[in-house]
Amino acid sequence: MRTLKTTSMRRPRSTQRQLFGAALVSSLAMAAVLALPGSATPRSAALSPQNYYLALGDSIAYGIQPTKVKPGAGPSAFRTGYVDAFAARLRKLSPKLQVVNYGCPGESTRTFVAGGCEGRGDVKALHDAFRGSQLDAALSFLRAHPGDVSPITVTLYGNDWLPVLLDTCNAKVACARKQAPSATKAFASRLTAILRRIRAAAPDAEIIVTGAWNPDPNSLGQLEAVYRSFETSIARAATAADARIARMLPVFNPTGSLQARKARLCAFTFICSKGDPHPTDAGYRAMADAILAASGYPRKP
């Protein structure tokens, strides 16, 4: 995603939409990232992962990185995302854990339900193929494996917000602030409905939703309230579905001096080196640490 003030990072419309969906030290992230106050605890979360870990969402769930998006690069080229890092931690608890990753670059809450995620053509193939919508694929998998899928992670928000920020507002801060309340409300309604359907199909699974963050180093102060509002809306949607939220603002947009905050964003994403907001390996590892910290699973060294 191009930054709000750096026009040299302008990208074609299709690439803009693909960035979040196809969009420092791990110990510090672990200490900083906790479930939001008031986040729900799943009714009957298992003490350890079950046989399957189901990953859902956009290109962040897929594990996209700009340095790996090359002609002919298949899913095996993208094995350092947060799903992979989180799965490695989970296998310390359940060594035979299998990962099913339906993450689709370009996915939004709209296409998650209706199908047609825009970034399928940006990668050679998905990690785990499916037809129709990602929601239908997830529900079908859960029904085929009752009680055997936990955890489930969900990453959606970038491709709901990018069209507003980049297309409607042309990356103007004042416009983004004005449009954010209605965009956040509509997004939250869609996400809540999605999470409730997943919960209904997996009543005892550990469901963890990742929060929002600002990937633009030039608008960290100006749009701080906007991204906090997005994260609050994600937390409320998670609570409504008896799920947890892994906060990402402390990971990518921690408190402190503006210089330190920019340094963290540059280290944890490709925004400064490539003009691309997808996480680096360090950023994806920090996401995995945050998800584990927010989960109900025990931690093993």
Query: Residue 235: which CATH number?
Result: 3.40.50.1110
Q: What is the mean pLDDT of residues 23-36?
A: 35
149-155 and 207-210 strand pairing: parallel
pLDDT value at 168 more than 90: yes
Distance of alpha carbon 276 from alpha carbon 237, whole angstroms: 28
Residue 107 lies in a domain: yes
User: Which pLDDT belongs to residue 21?
Assistant: 41
User: Which pLDDT belongs to residue 88?
Assistant: 97
Q: Which of 3-12, 18-27, 135-144, 216-225 has the lowest mean pLDDT?
A: 3-12
Distance of alpha carbon 228 from alpha carbon 234, whole angstroms: 10
User: Which pLDDT belongs to residue 9?
Assistant: 28
As a whole number, the mean pLDDT across the chain is 86
How many C-beta atoms surround the C-beta of residue 121 within 10 A? 12
- Domain carrying residue 285: 7-294
Residue 50 lies in a domain: yes
Distance of alpha carbon 29 from alpha carbon 25, whole angstroms: 7
Query: Quick one: tokens of 173?
Result: 């801060």
Q: What is the mean pLDDT of residues 81-91?
A: 97
Residue 173 lies in a domain: yes
pTM: 0.87
Residue 81 lies in a domain: yes
Share of the chain above pLDDT 70, in %: 84
The phi and psi torsions of 150 (rounded to 5 degrees) equal -175, 125
Number of domains forming the structure of the chain: 1
User: Which pLDDT belongs to residue 296?
Assistant: 85
Q: What is the pLDDT confidence band of residue 42, given thresholds at 50, 70 and 90?
A: very low
Q: What is the pLDDT confidence band of residue 179, given thresholds at 50, 70 and 90?
A: very high
pLDDT value at 19 more than 70: no
Q: Which of 12-21, 42-51, 114-123 has the lowest mean pLDDT?
A: 12-21
User: Which pLDDT belongs to residue 100?
Assistant: 98
Residue 299 lies in a domain: no
User: Which pLDDT belongs to residue 36?
Assistant: 41
Q: Which of 91-100, 112-121, 191-200 has the lowest mean pLDDT?
A: 112-121
User: Which pLDDT belongs to residue 300?
Assistant: 75
Residue 149 lies in a domain: yes
Residue 244 lies in a domain: yes
Residue 300 lies in a domain: no
Q: Which of 5-14, 87-96, 166-175 has the lowest mean pLDDT?
A: 5-14
- By the 8 A CB rule, do 239 and 246 touch? no
Q: What is the mean pLDDT of residues 85-91?
A: 97
Share of the chain above pLDDT 90, in %: 76
pLDDT value at 30 more than 70: no
